[in-house]
Amino acid sequence: MGGWALVVAGIILIPLPGPGWLVVGIGLLVLGREVRWARGALVRLERFMRRHGMRTSLRRLIARRQRERARHPHPSV
């Protein structure tokens, strides 16, 4: 539930000054623990941000998530 709330809040923040895309990315990180498609969406969002020159620490968050998943594998949903 929290992941969905962050994604929606981030989408609302996108046209406003502030970290809209970053909030969407964090929401996808949270959702990635529950649903498989969110992991792919997170990677696509990171590529989009990089392509359009947006600087973010999202890449570090993705790398941390991948290391965490490698250490503690769980059955996919």
Rounded to an integer, what is the distance from CA 49 to the centroid of its chain? 11
pLDDT at 16: 84
Residues in contact with 25: Cβ distance below 8 Å, sequence separation at least 6, in sequence order = 10, 42, 45, 46, 49, 56, 58, 61
Per residue in 9-62, pLDDT (tens digit) is 888 888 888 788 788 888 878 887 777 787 788 778 778 777 777 665 666 666
Phi/psi for 45 (5° steps) reads -65, -40
